[in-house]
Amino acid sequence: MAGTTHRAQGTLGATTTGGIAGLTLLLGTTMLVSTAAMATPIEPPAPPAAGCTVDGMTATCTGDQSAGLSVTDPFVTLEVKELTQDIAPAAGVAGISYETETTNITLLSNTGSQAIIVEGADGILAGTIDGDVYIHHEGDITATGGRGIHAYADQGAAVIEGTGSVTATLDAISTNPRLGAAALNWDGDLTSTEGRGIFLKADNGAASAEGSGNIVSQLDAVTLDSRGAGADTSFNWDGDITSNGGSAVVLSADDGAVSVTGSGTVIADQNGFDLDARGDEADAWLGWDGDITATNGFGARVYSANGGADIEGSGTVTAGDFGFYVLTENDSQPASLKWTGDITSQLSFGARVETIGGSATIQGSGTVQAHTDALTADADGGDANVLWNGDIAATTGYGLVAKSTTGGANVSGSGTVTAELDAITASNTAGTTATVNWTGDITSTSGTGVKVFSSSGATNLKGSGTIAAGLDGVNITNTGAQTAALSWSGDITGTDGFGVYLYSANGPVSASGSGAVTGGYDAFHLETEGNATAALNWTGDLTSTGGNGVHLTTAQGAASVMTNGLIDAAQGGIYIASGSSGSYDTVSVQHTGDILAGGVGVEARSPNAAVTVKVAGAVDSGSYGIFAESLGAATVTVEQTGTLDAGNTGIHAYSANGDVNVTQDGTLAAYGDGILAQNEGAGTVYVRKAGDLGAQARGIAALSSTGAVVVRMTDGSITSGGTGIEAGNESSNTVTVEMTGDIDAGGAGVLASSSNGEVWVTVDGDVDAGGDGASAINEGSGEVGVTYTGTMTAGGNGLVAASATGNVTATLTEDRQRQRHRQRHQPDRLRQPLGQYRRRRHGDRRRRLRGGLPGHRPAEHRHQLRHNRQRRRGGRLRHPGRGQRHPGRELRHDQRQRGAGPLGQ
């Protein structure tokens, strides 16, 4: 455009008085107006048609213009008004044609109650080769075979505004200025049977449209395209928009921003909205309220190459492809979706928000149904957040996904989540915290229910609801030094995986809550390889069809389990261990409820710290009932109330150099020793038993290297294949046995001994023993005392009390003592020194157990008893399986089992 230029801005929709001044009213956009064109004097031309007058550079046409108007003279302004008939020219003739070559033009037309009706031509055609075009029209237009309104400006800008219904075969309203902006402000319905409703293309400027009315088209309903440096594209509309064969709204800017705001129902064969901004730091924005249907495309696609990308609005969205897709490729800008309403994708994602440097956020509410993933926020750099309230369903993909490389990841909200793959995922690979906070039932057909992962940050899951998954119910993992934590209320099932899996490389792990938990592997698996604690506090039944009920380990920290409910496990009931050498890193189990285990009922280990196991409930195990061990100078405590039925030793409690305390109330049946309590140091060994006891090997064995030993049994009888009660030490500390109840033993009834300490044995009950009935022996100067009340039958000596140099006391309150195949016991023999006493052995006449043991096991379990033959008096029991690899499924995290594996599996 010749001459100097200036920028003019204004708001289209203000009252236009006519003339070139109308070109400055551009929807708030910027256009170039030629001052040279306005200043150059032009000789007024003749009137263009009958019924037209000329005043300066303005031509005014009124009355009957039914034949159409064709103006080529360089008027600055053409006014058409006060018509008496429709403008309805012959076929192939435009209603109003206003075209010049050398000036800016302004068309002001108002057909009033009349209309423009044409066939095979445009309703209004206005253009100039060397100037700007401004059209203001009021009235209806029907253009069969042509365009409703079309403006062109080869060297300038084009603006169209007005009101009325426009129906055309081709584009309803279109313009394509070459060196300026393109703008539209319209109120009224727009219909194109074969073309577009609105088509604005500015080759060197901004393109913008605003207004109201329903738009219906065959091709794209609205297309706005801006070209040139810094040229933006905008669309602001209220009304329904329908494209029968294309997209509803398409906006692009090759060097600017794009924005859409408005409301109305949107229906498209392809995309509902397609926004593409490629300017430097230029944003792409969609704000819309209304239902969106995109049969074969995206509900909305919003893209920015160098700026932010955002969608905000409400309505029901149904799409053949993505419901929403928001993407920015700027290395620092965010992308977001904030929506209220249902979202359905027939073949793809419900919504996906993606960045390569900024944050990605999905926020809103409504039901989401997707063929692949339902909602995904993927931030390659910033935080990823999915904040949603509403039911979620993903037919073949993931449910909710918040994924980041270097930022945090968060999923929170409520609703039922159903997915083929992982139902909820929050993960980052080099970022901060990953968290899930959810209320509602969660189902994954072939994946994990909830997966939370961080390479260096804390990982947390909180919430409530039923979780059911084909793999792990819950998987919470971090490979850093941060916490992995679960707080949940509700049932959890991992059919072919873990019920709950928590892992931290160097941080603490903890799980708390309530609900039934079932796993194809361990019901609960908690593991940390760092100097950190591992803790479980749970109320609810635990079931494992192929692993442990609880598997909890820490490499260098304290470990604790507090559970309440039935545990039913194919392998161990509870396995807990710490590898810490610190004496303060205790290992503790407190369980209320029955335990059914194919392996060890409860196994607790520490290399140096105290170990405590307390069970209030029955224990039925295929291996040890309870196994508690500390290899340090620390106390080991076992308390169990309820029946105990074990395929190996009932209770095994061992400390290398600390106290050992065992209390068991209830019937006990074991295919090894009933109770073995032992230390190899100076710690006291204490056993208290109430209730019947049946054991394939010894009934009770309480052994200490140099510490005191106490065994007290009441309210029950002992039936054993070996010694009924064995208690002993190799020091000057006291050994005490107090038994109230009958003893039926294949070996000795009671055998109590000390190398130099006092030995006291009290038995109130009948004794039937294959060896000696009751023995109290001291190899030094310690005092020895035996008090016996009851009937005794013995294959060896009946009552034995002996000390090398100490005093000996024997009290027999009922003289019904008998020896099997031996002469009656001579009392003076009790006072002989131990060196002169030789125990009589009758191995060929040992009493066999009559009627078997309570809870008798099949023959295939008997191999577990072979280790009993390796025992030496006072020595440490060697256990097959100690230190061996866990024969069950390897841990998936790093394909190796850490620490000593559970016993008896």
Residue 602 confidence (pLDDT): 98
What residue type is assigned to position 219 of the chain?
L
What residue type is assigned to position 760 of the chain?
W
Using CA atoms, how far residue 600 sits from 19, 604, 774, 857, 868, in Å, is: 97, 10, 32, 15, 17
Place of tokens 């009660």: 725
Q: At 630, is the pLDDT very low, low, confident or very high (cuts 50, 70, 90)?
A: very high
Q: At 75, is the pLDDT very low, low, confident or very high (cuts 50, 70, 90)?
A: confident
**Whether the predicted pLDDT of 407 surpasses 80:** yes
The whole-angstrom separation of Cα 253 and Cα 543 is 60
Residue 903 confidence (pLDDT): 56
Residue 82 β-bridge partners: none
Strand bridging mode 324-328 / 351-355: parallel
What residue type is assigned to position 851 of the chain?
G
Q: What is the mean pLDDT of the chain?
A: 87
Length of the chain, in residues: 905
Q: At 812, is the pLDDT very low, low, confident or very high (cuts 50, 70, 90)?
A: confident
Q: What is the pLDDT of residues 489-539, one digit of tens each?
A: 999 999 999 999 999 999 999 999 999 999 999 999 999 998 999 999 999
Q: Which of 6-10, 205-209, 332-336, 587-591 has the lowest mean pLDDT?
A: 6-10
Could you give the 3-state DSSP secondary structure of residue 895? Answer: coil
Q: Is 123 left (phi over 0), alpha (psi -120 to 50) or beta?
A: alpha
**Whether the predicted pLDDT of 335 surpasses 50:** yes
Q: Which of 442-451, 738-747, 858-867 has the lowest mean pLDDT?
A: 858-867
Name which of 182, 45, 50, 187 is nearest 102 in CA terms: 45
Residue 844 confidence (pLDDT): 29
- Give percent of the chain with pLDDT exceeding 90: 81
The whole-angstrom separation of Cα 456 and Cα 407 is 10
Tokens matching residue 403: 């994924």
Angle at CA of residue 128, ends 127 and 132, nearest 5°: 95
**Whether the predicted pLDDT of 288 surpasses 90:** yes
Q: At 814, is the pLDDT very low, low, confident or very high (cuts 50, 70, 90)?
A: low
Exposed, middle or buried, 36 (CB in 10 Å: 0-12/13-18/19+)? exposed
Higher-confidence residue of 851 and 433: namely: 433
DSSP string, 779-815: SSS--EEEEEES-EEESS-SEEEEESSS-EEEEESS-
The whole-angstrom separation of Cα 537 and Cα 645 is 26
Average pLDDT over residues 222-248: 97
**Whether the predicted pLDDT of 850 surpasses 80:** no
The whole-angstrom separation of Cα 3 and Cα 8 is 15
What residue type is assigned to position 560 of the chain?
S
Q: Which of 153-162, 465-474, 587-596, 811-820 has the lowest mean pLDDT?
A: 811-820
Q: What is the pLDDT of residues 678-707, one digit of tens each?
A: 999 999 999 999 999 999 999 999 999 999
Residue 902 confidence (pLDDT): 52
Q: What is the pLDDT of residues 779-800, one digit of tens each?
A: 998 999 999 999 999 999 999 9
The whole-angstrom separation of Cα 580 and Cα 340 is 52
- Give percent of the chain with pLDDT exceeding 70: 85
Tokens matching residue 382: 């910033």
In contact, 223 and 248? CB cutoff 8 Å: no
**Whether the predicted pLDDT of 393 surpasses 90:** yes
Q: Which residues contact 220 (CB under 8 A, 6 or more apart)?
A: 196, 199, 243, 246, 247, 248, 249, 250, 270
Name which of 307, 291, 338, 300 is nearest 321 in CA terms: 300
Using CA atoms, how far residue 712 sits from 250, 734, 737, 748, in Å, is: 88, 14, 6, 17
Exposed, middle or buried, 120 (CB in 10 Å: 0-12/13-18/19+)? middle
Q: At 73, is the pLDDT very low, low, confident or very high (cuts 50, 70, 90)?
A: confident
What residue type is assigned to position 227 of the chain?
R
Tokens matching residue 525: 């698996």
Average pLDDT over residues 712-719: 96
Average pLDDT over residues 323-349: 96
List helix spans (H) across 243-307.
none
What residue type is assigned to position 51 of the chain?
G
Exposed, middle or buried, 781 (CB in 10 Å: 0-12/13-18/19+)? middle
Helices (H) and strands (E) in the chain, counts: 1, 91
Half-sphere exposure of 123 (CA within 13 A, CB side): 31
Q: Which of 5-14, 107-116, 501-510 has the lowest mean pLDDT?
A: 5-14
Residue 343 confidence (pLDDT): 98
Q: Which of 117-131, 304-318, 329-343, 837-851 has the lowest mean pLDDT?
A: 837-851
Residue 561 confidence (pLDDT): 98
Q: Which residues contact 41 (CB under 8 A, 6 or more apart)?
A: none
Residue 208 β-bridge partners: 183, 234
Q: Which residues contact 18 (CB under 8 A, 6 or more apart)?
A: 58, 77, 79, 106, 108
Average pLDDT over residues 58-76: 93
Phi, psi of 829 (to 5 degrees): -70, -25
Cβ count near 4 (within 10 Å): 8
Average pLDDT over residues 448-470: 97
Q: Which residues contact 67 (CB under 8 A, 6 or more apart)?
A: 49, 89, 90, 93
For 707, which DSSP code?
A: S
DSSP string, 126-154: EEESSS-EEEEEEEEEEEETS-SEEEEES
Cβ count near 899 (within 10 Å): 17
Residue 43 confidence (pLDDT): 66
The whole-angstrom separation of Cα 351 and Cα 372 is 10
Half-sphere exposure of 474 (CA within 13 A, CB side): 37
What residue type is assigned to position 279 of the chain?
G
Residue 675 β-bridge partners: 651, 700
Residue 20 confidence (pLDDT): 36
Residue 46 confidence (pLDDT): 86
CA–centroid distance for 202 within its chain = 48
**Whether the predicted pLDDT of 160 surpasses 70:** yes
Strand bridging mode 759-764 / 735-740: parallel
Residue 111 confidence (pLDDT): 97
Exposed, middle or buried, 823 (CB in 10 Å: 0-12/13-18/19+)? exposed
**Whether the predicted pLDDT of 900 surpasses 60:** no
Average pLDDT over residues 469-477: 98
Strand bridging mode 792-794 / 767-769: parallel
In contact, 242 and 236? CB cutoff 8 Å: no
Q: Which residues contact 164 (CB under 8 A, 6 or more apart)?
A: 111, 137, 138, 139, 140, 141, 188
Cβ count near 715 (within 10 Å): 11
Residue 42 confidence (pLDDT): 52
Residue 430 confidence (pLDDT): 82
Tokens matching residue 161: 């505004």
Using CA atoms, how far residue 381 sits from 12, 179, 283, 308, 355, in Å, is: 42, 40, 18, 14, 8
CA–centroid distance for 867 within its chain = 46
Residue 827 confidence (pLDDT): 31
Q: At 101, is the pLDDT very low, low, confident or very high (cuts 50, 70, 90)?
A: confident
Tokens matching residue 467: 């979780």
Could you give the 3-state DSSP secondary structure of residue 859? Answer: helix
In contact, 388 and 370? CB cutoff 8 Å: no
Exposed, middle or buried, 883 (CB in 10 Å: 0-12/13-18/19+)? exposed
